[in-house]
Amino acid sequence: MKQAGCPLCESPGGDLVFQGAAFRVIRTDEGGFPAFYRVVWNEHVPELSDLAPADRALCLDAVVAVEQSLRAHLHPAKVNLATLGNMVPHLHWHVIARFEWDSHFPAPVWAAARREAPPAQLARVAALRPLLAADMVRQLSTLAPANPRR
Amino acid sequence: MKQAGCPLCESPGGDLVFQGAAFRVIRTDEGGFPAFYRVVWNEHVPELSDLAPADRALCLDAVVAVEQSLRAHLHPAKVNLATLGNMVPHLHWHVIARFEWDSHFPAPVWAAARREAPPAQLARVAALRPLLAADMVRQLSTLAPANPRR
């Protein structure tokens, strides 16, 4: 069910990395964070607990798959996971690789910036993104049914 | 396994609401947020994907149980879930009831404050916390084994 006026009902919400029947994964360009992904549940539901247990498990498996790809390919200092949705109450998970050199570390990405991220580091991560995306697709394809479920 | 110097290995980390064999739930006092809880995995692991699938599922079931209690008792505008751990890389989930009148809404709790939360609203939520805690304990007890697993 689509919600009129909801940006995540009306558009992918970023560069589409993987489109599944129940969820999609997008990459978003957020300044000093070169590996900022989102797992977006396709259906418009506000809260994680609105999902039935099997869907919740699938959604979290997708989040974990993205996290595992980030860890395997980028070796970040930390992975940050969050679903807030105060502005856009359509279930989406931020899955963010964090680096000591990023614009905010160790502060949350929503706090004030502490520095400019070094362009060479940003470029190094950007160069790894195609391989990273291929790995995400490979992992997510094993989770998500090829045929629409709904 | 405890990590020397880790605050979540060395202390509960807040007011203990529920102590299970694998995880605990604490409440923390964070200014303008009257219902800010954390699900802390007892063992020192940095990332969600460090947990075996069954433990991951248990951890997320605990997060969802806390979310469901918040929704049932407080009817928040939104629930925010996050595991960051940039400062304290010991797996813990923030589970936060958000209200239109809280100090930061609709911004994340880590962004700049937008207002002072009204004392009457804070007091109204505070008065509901004993009932809320009892409900969390009831729900979490069905998830968590009474006897230590490790």
Which residues of chain B make contact with A86, given a CB cutoff of 8 A? 77-78, 80, 98, 105-108
Query: Per the CB < 8 Å rule, is B78 touching A60?
Result: no
pLDDT in tens, B46-76: 999 999 999 999 999 999 999 999 999 999 9
Confidence label for B150 from pLDDT (cuts 50, 70 and 90): very low
Distance CA B26, CA B13 (A): 7
Which pLDDT score, from 0 to 100, does residue B1 have? Answer: 75
* Domain segments of chain B as ranges: 7-143
Is A86 in Cβ contact with B105 (below 8 Å)? yes
Query: B30 pLDDT band (50/70/90 cuts)?
Result: confident
B82 and A80: CB-CB below 8 Å? yes
Query: From B57, which residue of chain A is nearest by alpha-carbon distance?
Result: A57
Residue A144 pLDDT: 66
- Nearest chain A residue (CA) to B46: A78
Confidence class for position B144, pLDDT limits 50, 70, 90: low
pLDDT-above-90 percentage for chain A: 91
Q: Tell whether the torsion through CA atoms of B35, B51, A52 and A81 is positive or negative.
A: positive
For the domain made up of A7-143, the CATH class stated in words is: alpha beta
Q: Are A32 and A112 contacting, i.e. CB atoms less than 8 angstroms apart?
A: no
Considering only CB atoms, A49 lies closest to which of B67, B80, B89, namely: B67
Which of the four pLDDT bands, split at 50, 70 and 90, describes residue A150? very low
Q: What is the mean predicted confidence (pLDDT) over B28-36?
A: 93
- What pLDDT, on a 0 to 100 scale, did the predictor assign at position B145? 59
Tell me the DSSP string of A107-146: S-TTS---SPPPHHHHHHHHHHHHHHHHHHHHHHHHHS-S
Interval B77-104 mean pLDDT: 98
Per-residue pLDDT for B147 more than 50? Answer: no
For the residues B35-45, what does the mean pLDDT come to? 98
Residues whose CB falls within 8 Å of the CB of residue A112, separated by 6 or more in sequence, listed in order: A104, B112
- What are the residues whose beta carbons fall under 8 Å from the beta carbon of B28, sequence distance 6 or more? B13, B14, B15, B36, B37, B38
Residues B2 and B86: their CA atoms lie apart, in Å, by: 18
Average pLDDT over residues B13-18: 96
Give the residue on A whose Cα is nearest the Cα of B62: A49
**Beta carbons within 10 angstroms of residue A135's beta carbon:** 18
Q: Does residue B69 sit in helix, strand or coil?
A: helix
Select the more confidently predicted residue: B82 or B146.
B82
> What confidence tens digit (pLDDT) does each residue in A47-68 have?
999 999 999 999 999 999 999 9
Digit-coded pLDDT (tens) for A82-137: 999 999 999 999 999 999 999 999 999 999 999 999 999 999 999 999 999 999 99
* Structure-token match 């807030």, residue found: A84
- Condensed to tens digits (0 to 9), the pLDDT of residues A21-57 reads 999 999 999 889 999 999 999 999 999 999 999 999 9
Q: Is the pLDDT of residue B128 over 80?
A: yes
pLDDT band at A71 (very low <50, low <70, confident <90, very high): very high
Q: Which amino acid is at A125?
A: V
Mean pLDDT of B134-138: 97
> A100: distance to nearest CA of chain B, Å?
9
Q: Which residues contact A31 (CB under 8 A, 6 or more apart)?
A: A103, A113, A117
pLDDT tops 80 at residue B149: no
Predicted confidence at residue A1, as pLDDT, reads 75
CA distance B123 to chain A (A): 23
The pLDDT, as a whole number, for residue B42 is 97
- The answer to whether B46 contacts A85, with C-beta atoms less than 8 Å apart, is no
Quick one: pLDDT at residue A147?
42
Measured between beta carbons, which residues in chain A are less than 8 angstroms from residue B79? 47-49
Contact A48 B67 (CB under 8 A): yes
- For residue B142, pLDDT over 60 is answered with yes
Q: How far is B129 from chain A (nearest CA, A)?
A: 20
